[in-house]
Amino acid sequence: MRILILGGTTEASQLARLLADDNRFEPTLSLAGRTASPKPQPLLTRIGGFGGVVGLEAWLRENGISAVIDATHPYAAQISAHAVDACNALSVPLASILRAAWRRASGDEWIEVETPAAAAAALGSEPKRVFLSLGRLELTAFAAAPQHHYIARTIDPPGEVSLPPNIQFVHDRGPFDAAEEEAFLADRRVAIIVSKNSGGAATYPKIAAARRLRLPVVMIDRPNKPHGVALDSPEGAMHWLEAQLAHRAPSSRRGV
Ligand code: NAP
């Protein structure tokens, strides 16, 4: 059974490992191509956008895809909307791995805002040292608050995007442990953090470190992300795929 995994996340990489030696499925992993050197994957991988809903629909049809798993990041809302529309149009089953959001714990000082622009405004007028734990496209919003000193951690250099004048880059790829995050924030004399509520364990240590150092976190809300059948883990995705296989008509299993 040919399947498509929309990836770019820890969960997608975990699912890729679960599928790697399973000859019941012929999976393709799709990455958007945002990072210059993505982690090697044990599955056939295609890189780059499909060209909107129409392009995704054409790709699903041309590749004879029988099921799609959306394992994209909680803030990647557009590709998920396209997956819902394309799978509906073709009656291809779609399931989505939904990562639970982080919950505020005792000692957390979160300022919740809806957009990167609102996060920039929430930093206030007094100059501060700000850690931006965001993607490169979200950094542009901080050009509107040039009074702060920013420290941005990204995997690759930001490329041609407008940036605040006083910004320093640290290029690194997580995960980072709690002790490393605490040392990073203290060494750089960070006064406030801007983060997405990504959920999951891989990037949580910075939130725990902020709590211990009593630093406020400006938390950008999650977008509305359309989804298919809701799953909570890569293992859940395997069970769902097995159920799709079991429900297929014998004729389609013979490829007739
Ligand atoms: P997005 O806003 O939802 O999607 C923008 C466009 O990028 C889509 O319309 C699609 O282009 C293309 N695209 C996105 N994900 C794709 C995939 N897995 N395979 C092929 N094309 C894809 O997405 P985004 O927020 O830019 O995220 C891009 C990728 O980075 C995703 O794979 C996501 O899981 C990963 N990621 C995102 C974040 C985040 O904070 N947004 C964080 C970590 C990882 P076409 O319309 O041309 O098909």
What residue has token string 């959001």?
101
What residue has token string 């998920």?
80
| Shared-domain flag, residues 21 and 61 | yes
CA–CA distance, 98 with 199 (Å, rounded to integer): 10
Residue 72 structural domain = 2-100+223-248
Helix (H, G, I), strand (E, B) or coil at 45: strand
| Shared-domain flag, residues 96 and 12 | yes
- What's the pLDDT tens digit per position in 22-56? 999 999 999 999 888 888 899 999 999 999 999 99
What is the tally of structural domains in the chain? 2
* Ligand 1 centroid distance, CA of 247 (Å): 30
Residue 104 has pLDDT above 90, yes or no: yes
CA–CA distance, 194 with 155 (Å, rounded to integer): 17
Name which of 145, 189, 194, 193 is nearest 165 in CA terms. Answer: 145
Query: 146 preceded by cis ω (within 30°)?
Result: no
CA 32 to the chain's CA centroid: 11
Report whether 33 contacts 156 (CB < 8 A).
no
Report whether 6 contacts 226 (CB < 8 A).
no
**CATH code of 52's domain:** 3.40.50.720
Residue range 176-201: average pLDDT? 96
Q: How many CB atoms are closer than 10 A to CB 217? A: 22
| Shared-domain flag, residues 88 and 172 | no
What residue has token string 């990072």?
35
| Shared-domain flag, residues 34 and 135 | no
Looking at ligand 1, which atom is closest to the CA of residue 138? Answer: 40
| Shared-domain flag, residues 68 and 126 | no
Q: Is 33 in the pocket of ligand 1 (CB under 6 A)?
A: no
Question: Given this model, what pLDDT does residue 164 score?
Answer: 97
Residue 127 counted as domain residue: yes
Residue 105 counted as domain residue: no
What residue has token string 């940036």?
163
Kindly state the tokens that stand for 16: 């890729």
* Ligand 1 centroid distance, CA of 14 (Å): 18
Residue 248 has pLDDT above 90, yes or no: no
Residue 160 counted as domain residue: yes
Looking at ligand 1, which atom is closest to the CA of residue 6? Answer: 18
pTM of the model: 0.94
Helix (H, G, I), strand (E, B) or coil at 250: helix
